[in-house]
Structure 1
């Protein structure tokens, strides 16, 4: 070890930056945070990672067309597939 270190070029914060991620402050209900912490611990994962995955899944689910009528083309395709497997 050195007797003295030069920190004049040092920077505060995380040593490694996460690419593709942004650090924010967010207010969550205690129950929500408690749920994700317990669930993450049981799964052996990080709770912030799980919150991110839940938000991503919500966005994915919202982008799917909901309550769309079945088209004739889709109905014919499904019937052909079902008749073929029977």
Structure 2
């Protein structure tokens, strides 16, 4: 161990940079909602529940952009 450490070049924040096109976000979800997504990932044999939430939101947005008649036919 060093007697002193120089943090003058240190940077605050996450060690891993956020990929382009992504935004770090803090959100409060109901426990049962989060548990459902985690359970789905577990049943699938692994993965990332955050990716699953993102995909569910994306699908909802895409369906919401469809005319009402198309949504009701599916």
Question: Aligning the two structures, in what range does the TM-score lie when normalised by the shorter sequence?
Answer: 0.7 to 0.9
The runs of 5 or more residues in structure 1 that have no matched partner are 69-86
Give the aligned CA root-mean-square deviation in angstroms.
1.8
Where do 1:40-59 residues align within 5 Å? 40-43=41-44, 44-59=46-61
Q: TM-score, normalising length from structure 1?
A: 0.66
Q: Which runs of 4+ in 1 moved over 3 A?
A: 2-5
The runs of 5 or more residues in structure 2 that have no matched partner are none
Larger radius of gyration: 1
Tell which has more relative contact order, 1 or 2 (C-alpha 8 A, sep 6+). Answer: 2
Q: TM-score, normalising length from structure 2?
A: 0.75
